[in-house]
């Protein structure tokens, strides 16, 4: 979308007053519009050739109904639509920001944490669209708006209408050459893996200010796409490994969006190598089903029938000529080599390595849809598997490309480690002083916290595993609430065992100190410290440490919050010790200590 200008004064579409034209593309014209109530929206007035008949309008209505369920800050969700009106339109949330292309031109490429935030946010936005059964099909820099440091995906789902042969003009492939997946170039149905490929191209642009497959005539760009011949020199190591994997010419080798989000959700993704241009040997001849090689200058397809033409905008976002079905020449390697056999694909926890690339070979045509859609068969291009190499000398002689090696995140600085240690010692001191001031009350509180933390940790782990298996669903929150009692019961036995372990060790230390005649306050303070250490290191304690660290590590990373935490813990410790020293030990709910009165422990105290 490139054109801006003021709309004619007083012009309205439905209830919306058009204020300013903010963009124009092949699917329609976008205006900044305002409803009578004052809400501003981005109003896209669709062109007649997109919804020119009843069936096309019905398909648009189904798309709008599906996409209206998508509510995510990283998506410009639909707020209103009228596919049946005299002037069909779609109104989406207005995002007052530049698109990624203009943002990079003004601010420069993204780096470091900003690039990770962008890559994860874009993957989450695409995944949210997939979850309602829609493929974006046109993820590219001009379709991503920047709201601060976060991406917002726009124009999602409307490209789904390209399934209708009356909307996708025969002989043309709508899309942008540098961001189209190889399987789409061969006329196969796009899948979720196609959007993953476009995600990688868009992330590359965000990090480098250029697309992964360079510039030039459309034929040359598409040939590089087909062969996986990309240029990632200078791309941040935080995302390099994932981008290399996502640009694989074979859709079966690409990571899923769930895997991408899981990897980008870690503290950091490190890559020690920064390889240059990824040039892999491939046949020199162009084998794609394309005719001539003009430098197309359009994204909009106009007209009907065999004599339709294209209208120009820029050469960087052009449609490509595609032979009609049945006229595509067979792939040269596909005709001479046996079909590839699938292997298991990498899981979310594995490092995505750059496999040796070969030109994309057309797989058997998919039965229907895309993964997760009812009726999608095992021949779907996104079927998770890794093609085995054929036994031909030519393929066996292809050099293997070295892959980026993932390394562990760097060790935190000594200052951060020191702050973490002080928070841990402060928490331990608070537990010990609490036992010295009120033993039974503190023991009850520690027991309750251990049970709660282990239950919450188990619930969180189960929810994460469930989302990794099948993605995020709208009802995940309800499932988490309903499953909480079960996770509480499952975690309870080991929680009680951990508490009993701490009590036992603390009691043993207390008995030894009692025999030595140590004062009650000192005895209880030392026993409380032993209790804290035992609960932190005992059986099943990992589910206690994890949630505590999830709170403490961010605090240690921020000097202000670390200072507040230290002050609070020191204040609690001082208050407990002062109370115990001035008022004595509070043995509520009992009236005296276990070794007071005529108990057998009293004899040890004597």
> Can you point out the beta strands (E) in 148-218?
150-153, 172-173
SS3 596: coil
Does residue 44 have a known ligand-binding role? yes
For residue 528, give both structure tokens. Answer: 């409380």
Range list of H helices, 293-370: none
What residues are paired with 82 via a beta bridge? 89
Residue 420: how many CA atoms within 13 Å on its side-chain side? Answer: 15
Residues 44 and 94 sit within 8 Å (Cβ to Cβ):
no
Residues 6 or more apart from 243 whose CB is under 8 A from it? 200, 203, 204, 212, 232, 235
Distances in Å between the Cα of 346 and the Cα atoms of 258, 342, 386 are 12, 12, 9
**How do strand 78-82 and strand 89-93 relate by DSSP bridges?**
antiparallel
What radius of gyration, in Å, describes the C-alpha atoms of the chain?
31
End-to-end CA distance of the chain: 89
Residues paired with 321 in a beta bridge: 172
Torsion (CA) 171, 174, 180, 186 in degrees, nearest 10: -20
- What phi and psi, each to the nearest 5 degrees, are found at residue 44? -100, 115
- Give CA–CA dist 254/352, Å, rounded: 9
**The two three-digit tokens of residue 236, written as one number:** 């941040």
Q: Where are the beta strands (DSSP E) in 7-66?
A: 12-13, 16-24, 28-34, 40-46
Which positions make up the binding site for ATP?
A: 44
Which positions make up the binding site?
A: 44
């Amino acid at each position: 979308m490139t054109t801006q200008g003021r709309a004619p004064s007083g012009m309205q579409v439905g209830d919306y007053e058009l204020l300013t034209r903010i963009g124009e593309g092949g699917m329609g014209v976008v205006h900044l519009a305002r409803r009578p109530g004052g809400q501003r929206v981005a109003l896209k007035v669709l062109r007649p050739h997109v919804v020119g008949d009843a069936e096309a309008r019905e398909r648009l209505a189904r798309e709008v109904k599906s996409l209206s369920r998508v509510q995510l800050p990283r998506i410009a969700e639909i707020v209103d639509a009228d596919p049946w009106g005299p002037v069909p339109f779609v109104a989406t949330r207005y995002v007052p920001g530049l698109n990624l292309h203009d943002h990079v031109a003004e601010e420069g490429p993204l780096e470091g944490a900003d690039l990770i935030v962008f890559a994860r946010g874009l993957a989450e936005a695409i995944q949210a669209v997939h979850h309602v059964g829609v493929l974006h099909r046109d993820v590219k820099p001009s379709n991503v708006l920047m709201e601060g440091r976060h991406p917002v995906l726009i124009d999602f789902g409307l490209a789904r209408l390209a399934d209708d042969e009356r909307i996708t003009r025969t002989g043309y492939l709508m899309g942008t050459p540098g961001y189209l997946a190889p399987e789409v170039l061969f006329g196969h149905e796009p899948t979720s893996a196609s959007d993953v490929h476009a995600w990688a191209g868009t992330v590359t642009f965000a990090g480098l200010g250029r697309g992964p497959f360079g510039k030039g005539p459309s034929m040359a760009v598409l040939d590089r796409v087909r062969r996986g011949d990309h240029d990632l020199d200078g791309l941040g190591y935080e995302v390099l490994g994932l981008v290399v994997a996502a640009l694989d010419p074979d859709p079966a080798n690409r990571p899923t969006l769930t895997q991408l989000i899981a990897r980008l959700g870690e503290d950091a993704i490190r890559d020690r190598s920064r390889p240059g241009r990824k040039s892999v040997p491939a046949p020199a001849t162009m084998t794609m089903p394309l005719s001539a090689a003009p430098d197309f200058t359009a994204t909009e397809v106009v007209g009907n029938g065999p004599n339709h033409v294209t209208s120009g905008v820029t050469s960087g976002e052009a449609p490509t000529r595609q032979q009609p079905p049945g006229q595509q020449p067979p792939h040269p390697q596909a005709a001479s080599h046996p079909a590839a056999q699938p292997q298991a694909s990498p899981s979310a926890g594995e490092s995505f390595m750059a496999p040796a690339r070969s030109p994309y070979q057309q797989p058997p045509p998919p039965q229907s849809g895309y993964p997760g859609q009812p009726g999608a068969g095992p021949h779907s291009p996104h079927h998770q598997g890794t093609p085995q190499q054929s036994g031909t000398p030519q393929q066996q002689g292809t050099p293997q490309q070295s892959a980026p090696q993932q390394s562990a995140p760097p060790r935190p600085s000594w200052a951060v480690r020191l702050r973490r240690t002080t928070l841990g010692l402060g928490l331990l001191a608070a537990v010990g002083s609490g036992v010295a001031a009120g033993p039974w009350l503190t023991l009850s509180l520690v027991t309750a916290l251990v049970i709660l933390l282990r239950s919450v940790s188990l619930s969180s782990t189960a929810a994460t595993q469930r989302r990794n298996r099948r993605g995020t669903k709208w009802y995940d929150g309800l499932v988490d609430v309903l499953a909480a009692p079960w996770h509480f019961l499952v975690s309870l036995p080991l929680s009680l065992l951990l508490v009993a372990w701490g009590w036992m060790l603390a009691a043993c230390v207390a008995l030894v100190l009692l025999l030595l005649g140590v004062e009650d306050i000192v005895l209880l303070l030392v026993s409380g410290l032993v209790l804290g250490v035992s609960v932190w290191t005992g059986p099943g304690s990992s589910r206690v440490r994890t949630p505590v660290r999830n709170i403490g590590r961010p605090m240690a990373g921020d000097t202000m919050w670390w200072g507040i935490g230290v002050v609070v813990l020191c204040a609690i410790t001082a208050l407990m010790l002062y109370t115990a020293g001035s008022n004595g030990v509070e043995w509520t709910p009992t009236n005296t200590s276990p070794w007071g009165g005529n108990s057998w422990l009293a004899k040890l105290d004597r």
